[in-house]
C-alpha cells in the first residue's frame, strides 16, 4: 500500500472536492484509471462471502475484479437478508481498501422495490418494502407519494451499502408494444417529468451528498420509439424510429431531471433511424452524447453505457452477442474508441480495462482523454462520502430495511394505484348497485388469487355456479417468440391482444357469474371484449392479493388513473406512430381514465 496513504490530501475531508480529485488522479497509474471506467455485475457469495468465479455468467471472482482488474463500480445481482448483504458490502470495501490507493467501491442496483423480476431490468422487492412499479406511481400522479417512495428506498439502499440506483427509467411509452414500458412513468412527457423530478429528489435530496443515493437516469435520449415495439437488448429490436418527427418530445423528461441535479445518465442500446444522427447505437453517437447531451443541455456528469456493448456474454448460461448496433463489424478496441470519442465515461457490464491500457500504450488513445472520465467518476465517489466512510453497520441494517412504516407506505401506494376502468351494475334490473364494492361475506370463485388471503373477505367456493361473484387476476398478453432464449422470456413483446382460447375462457366465466377482472398492465392491452363482459375491470401495476381485495371489498379507495391510452385494436396500434403519444385511433380508454369507487 502507498506509504502516503494515511495522510494523502485526497483522504482529507477539509480539502475541497476538486483538489481531492486532482490529487488522487495525479497518483494513479493508467491501470487504476482504466479500472474506474468499467461497471461490472457482482454477485453475492453464499452466506455473504465474496463470490468466486461464475462460469455460467462469464464472471471472474470478486477478488480478481477488485484487486486484479482494479474495477471499483459494480451492479449488485440478487440479494440477501439485510444484515448479510451489509456484511458482504463491508467485505467488498475491505478488499478495495487493500489495493494500492484504497479507492472505495461504488455499488449500484437495478430497481428492487416492486413486483417485476427481470435479470435484465429489475428485481422483485424481496427483503425491501414492496411498492407498485413506476407505472403505478404515475397512476397515482402525486409527487409527494413518488418522493416518499424515493426517500424510503434511499434509506433502505443506504443501510446495505447501495449508493447508485440504475433508475429511474424516464423513457416515454409511445410505442404500446414495447416490452420495457413497465419501468416507465407512461406515455405523457409532462407527467413523466413531474414524477421523475420527485423520484430523483427522494433518492438524492436537494443536492447530492453523503446521505444520497445517486440516480443514473435512463435511457437518453429516450428509449420508447422502438420499431414494431421490439427491444434493442436483441438484434431484431435495434432500430428506434421517428416517423412522426417527434424526437424532441422524448427529451422533455431529461430536461426536467437535469434541472433537478442528476449526475449520471445511461444511453440506450437503440440506433436512431431516419434522423439527423448517425445510425449507430446511442452510446457510440457523438452527435447525441457530445452535441446534444453535453453541449446543448450542458451535462457534465457521468455517462455510463448500457450493459454489454463490447463483449459477447453468457446470460443464464446462454450466449448473447454484444449490442453495438450499427457497428457490429468493429473490433472491441474500435468500439471503445468510438464510444469514448462520443463522450462516454464508463462501460456497463464489461470488464476489460486492459484494452484501454493497451490503447494508451499503443498511442491510439490519450491518457488525457481518460483523465476526463476518471475525474468525473472520482468526483462522484467523493461527493457520496465513500472515501470518508465506505462501511455500513450490519447490525443496524435490519432496523432500516422494511421498517413497519415503510411496508405500510408501500401497501398504501399499491392500493391507491389501482385503476378502476369499469364498474357495471351487478344486475341490469338493479341499476343503482354497481359491482364494486363487493359485499363482505360473499361467496367467491377465484382465479389467480390466493384463497387463504381471500378467506378473510368472503367464502371461497370451488365452482363458478356456486359463487355470488368471481374475482380473477390476469396479466397483459404477449407473444413468446419461437425458439427464444431464457433471457428473452423476461421481455414481453408482440401482440397486445389475447389469443382466442384465453379470451374465450375469460368471457365464458364472465357470462357464467358476475366477474371482477384485475389485469396487470406491464404494458397496454387490447381488451374491448373483456371490458364489455366484466362486472368490473381494474388495472394494477404491481400489487398484492391483499391490496386488490381491500379495494374490491371497499376497504381502500383506489385513485389510479391510466398512465397511457389503452388501444381498441391491434390494427390501431400497428397504424400509429411509435414516437407520437396518444396516437392510436379511438382508444378504448384514454390516458387519465379512472373511476371512483
User: What is the per-residue pLDDT across 546-566, written as a single tens digit (0 to 9) for each?
Assistant: 999 999 999 999 999 999 999
Question: What angle separates helix 404-417 from helix 143-160, to the nearest 10 degrees?
Answer: 140
The structure's pTM equals: 0.96
Provide the pLDDT for residue 107.
98
Question: CB–CB of 10/24 below 8 Å?
Answer: yes
Question: CB–CB of 453/543 below 8 Å?
Answer: no
How confident is the model over 511-547, as pLDDT tens digits? Answer: 999 999 999 999 999 999 999 999 999 999 999 999 9
Length of the chain: 597
CATH 3.40.50.1700 spans which residues of the chain? 415-574
How many CB atoms within 10 Å of residue 129? 23
Instruction: Extract long-range pairs of 24-32: CB within 8 Å, 24+ residues apart.
Output: 24/101, 24/103, 24/378, 25/371, 25/374, 25/375, 25/378, 27/2, 27/101, 28/101, 28/374, 30/356, 30/357, 30/360, 30/361, 30/367, 30/370, 31/70, 31/353, 31/357, 32/70, 32/100, 32/101, 32/103
Which has the minimum average pLDDT: 30-34, 120-124, 344-348?
120-124
CA 273 to chain CA centroid, Å, is 25
Average of pLDDT values for 238-247? 98
- Whole-angstrom Cα distance, residue 197 to residue 471? 37
Q: Positive or negative CA dihedral for 316, 320, 324, 326?
A: negative
Maximum Cα interatomic distance, the chain, rounded to a whole number of Å = 88
- Whole-angstrom Cα distance, residue 266 to residue 537? 37
- Whole-angstrom Cα distance, residue 416 to residue 390? 37
Of the candidates 110, 231, 306, 518, the residue annotated as catalytic is: 306
Sequence-ordered list of residues with C-beta below 8 angstroms from that of 263, at least 6 positions apart, any chain: 208, 214, 301, 302, 380, 383
Provide the pLDDT for residue 104.
98
- Whole-angstrom Cα distance, residue 319 to residue 488? 12
How confident is the model over 133-189, as pLDDT tens digits? Answer: 999 999 999 999 999 999 999 999 999 999 999 999 999 999 999 999 999 999 999
- Whole-angstrom Cα distance, residue 125 to residue 171? 22
Sequence-ordered list of residues with C-beta below 8 angstroms from that of 363, at least 6 positions apart, any chain: none
How many CB atoms within 10 Å of residue 154? 21
Average of pLDDT values for 88-101? 97
Q: Domain 415-574, CATH 3.20.20.10 — does that match? A: no
DSSP state of 247: G
How confident is the model over 406-435, as pLDDT tens digits? Answer: 999 999 999 999 999 999 998 754 556 899
Average of pLDDT values for 69-91? 96
Q: How confident is residue 217, by pLDDT bands cut at 50, 70 and 90?
A: very high
In the chain, % of residues over pLDDT 90: 89
Per-residue CA distances from 175 to 223, 567, 570 (Å): 10, 11, 12
Question: What angle separates helix 189-204 from helix 143-160, to the nearest 10 degrees?
Answer: 40
Active site residue 306: yes
- Whole-angstrom Cα distance, residue 443 to residue 448? 16
Which superfamily does 28-400 belong to? Glycoside hydrolase, family 3, N-terminal domain (3.20.20.300)
More confident residue, 343 or 57: 343
Provide the pLDDT for residue 398.
96
Nearest by Cα to 163 from 399, 402, 398, 381: 381
pLDDT over 50 (residue 4)? no
Q: Positive or negative CA dihedral for 60, 91, 394, 20?
A: negative
Average of pLDDT values for 478-492? 88
pLDDT over 90 (residue 320)? no
Provide the pLDDT for residue 3.
43
CA dihedral 317→78→305→20, nearest 10 degrees, is: -140
Provide the pLDDT for residue 118.
61
Provide the pLDDT for residue 551.
98
More confident residue, 131 or 58: 131
Provide the pLDDT for residue 33.
98
- Whole-angstrom Cα distance, residue 522 to residue 166? 19
CATH 3.20.20.300 spans which residues of the chain? 28-400
Question: CB–CB of 219/258 below 8 Å?
Answer: no
How confident is the model over 367-409, as pLDDT tens digits? Answer: 999 999 999 999 999 999 999 999 999 999 999 999 999 999 9
Provide the pLDDT for residue 1.
40
Provide the pLDDT for residue 12.
87
Provide the pLDDT for residue 56.
63
CA 518 to chain CA centroid, Å, is 24
More confident residue, 441 or 487: 441
Provide the pLDDT for residue 547.
97
Q: Considering the chain, what is the average pLDDT of its residues? A: 95
Question: CB–CB of 321/312 below 8 Å?
Answer: yes
Question: CB–CB of 345/376 below 8 Å?
Answer: yes
Amino acid at each position: 500500500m502507498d506509504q502516503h496513504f494515511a495522510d494523502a490530501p485526497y483522504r482529507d475531508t477539509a480539502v475541497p472536492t476538486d483538489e481531492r480529485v486532482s490529487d488522487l488522479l495525479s497518483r494513479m497509474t493508467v491501470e487504476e484509471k482504466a479500472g474506474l471506467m468499467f461497471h461490472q455485475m457482482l454477485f453475492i457469495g453464499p452466506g455473504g462471502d465474496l463470490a468466486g468465479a461464475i462460469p455460467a455468467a462469464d464472471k471472474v471472482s470478486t477478488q480478481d475484479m477488485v484487486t486484479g482488474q482494479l474495477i471499483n463500480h459494480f451492479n449488485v445481482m440478487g440479494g440477501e437478508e439485510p444484515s448479510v448483504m451489509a456484511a458482504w458490502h463491508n467485505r467488498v470495501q475491505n478488499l478495495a481498501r487493500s489495493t494500492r490507493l484504497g479507492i472505495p467501491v461504488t455499488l449500484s442496483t437495478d430497481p428492487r422495490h416492486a413486483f417485476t423480476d427481470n435479470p435484465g431490468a429489475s428485481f422483485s422487492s424481496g427483503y425491501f418494502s414492496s411498492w407498485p412499479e413506476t407505472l403505478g406511481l404515475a397512476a397515482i400522479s402525486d409527487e409527494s407519494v413518488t418522493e416518499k417512495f424515493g426517500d424510503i428506498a434511499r434509506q433502505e439502499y443506504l443501510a446495505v451499502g447501495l449508493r447508485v440506483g440504475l433508475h429511474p427509467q424516464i423513457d416515454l411509452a409511445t410505442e404500446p408494444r414495447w416490452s420495457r414500458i413497465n419501468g416507465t412513468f407512461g406515455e405523457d412527457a409532462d407527467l413523466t417529468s413531474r414524477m421523475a423530478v420527485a423520484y430523483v429528489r427522494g433518492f438524492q435530496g436537494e443536492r447530492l451528498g453523503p446521505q444520497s443515493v445517486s440516480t443514473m437516469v435512463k435511457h437518453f435520449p429516450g428509449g420508447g420509439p422502438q420499431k414494431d415495439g421490439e427491444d434493442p437488448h436483441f438484434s431484431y429490436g435495434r432500430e428506434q424510429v421517428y416517423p412522426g418527427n417527434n424526437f424532441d418530445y422524448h427529451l422533455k423528461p431529461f430536461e426536467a431531471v437535469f434541472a433537478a441535479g442528476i449526475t449520471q445518465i445511461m444511453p440506450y442500446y437503440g440506433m436512431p433511424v431516419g434522423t439527423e444522427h448517425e445510425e449507430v447505437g446511442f452510446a457510440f453517437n457523438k452527435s447525441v452524447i457530445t452535441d446534444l447531451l453535453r453541449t446543448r443541455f450542458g451535462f457534465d456528469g457521468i455517462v455510463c453505457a448500457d450493459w454489454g456493448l463490447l463483449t459477447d456474454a453468457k446470460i443464464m448460461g446462454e450466449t448473447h452477442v454484444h449490442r453495438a448496433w450499427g457497428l457490429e463489424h468493429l473490433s472491441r478496441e474500435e468500439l471503445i474508441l468510438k464510444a469514448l470519442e462520443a463522450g462516454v465515461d464508463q462501460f456497463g457490464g464489461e470488464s476489460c480495462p486492459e484494452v484501454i491500457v493497451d490503447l494508451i500504450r499503443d498511442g491510439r488513445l490519450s491518457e488525457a482523454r481518460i483523465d476526463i472520465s476518471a475525474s468525473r467518476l472520482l468526483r462522484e465517489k467523493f461527493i457520496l462520502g465513500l472515501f470518508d466512510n465506505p462501511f455500513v453497520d450490519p447490525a443496524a441494517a435490519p432496523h432500516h430495511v422494511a421498517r413497519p412504516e415503510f411496508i405500510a407506505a408501500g401497501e398504501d401506494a399499491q392500493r391507491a394505484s389501482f385503476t378502476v376502468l369499469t364498474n357495471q351494475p351487478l344486475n341490469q334490473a338493479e341499476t343503482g348497485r354497481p359491482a364494486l364494492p363487493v359485499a363482505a361475506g360473499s361467496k367467491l370463485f377465484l382465479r389467480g388469487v390466493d384463497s387463504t388471503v381471500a378467506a378473510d373477505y368472503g367464502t371461497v367456493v370451488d365452482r363458478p355456479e356456486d359463487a355470488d361473484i368471481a374475482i380473477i387476476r390476469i396479466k397483459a398478453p404477449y407473444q413468446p417468440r419461437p425458439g427464444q432464449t431464457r433471457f428473452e422470456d423476461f421481455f414481453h413483446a408482440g401482440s397486445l391482444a389475447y389469443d382466442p382460447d384465453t379470451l374465450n375462457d375469460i368471457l365464458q366465466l364472465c357470462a357464467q357469474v358476475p366477474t371482477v377482472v384485475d389485469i396487470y398492465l406491464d404494458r397496454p392491452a387490447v381488451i374491448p371484449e373483456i371490458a364489455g363482459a366484466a362486472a368490473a375491470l381494474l388495472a394494477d401495476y404491481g400489487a398484492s392479493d391483499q391490496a386488490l381485495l381491500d379495494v374490491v371489498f371497499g376497504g381502500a379507495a383506489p385513485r389510479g388513473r391510466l398512465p397511457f391510452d389503452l388501444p381498441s385494436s391491434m390494427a390501431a396500434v400497428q397504424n400509429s406512430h411509435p414516437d407520437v403519444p396518444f396516437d392510436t385511433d379511438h382508444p378504448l380508454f384514454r390516458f387519465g381514465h379512472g373511476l371512483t369507487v
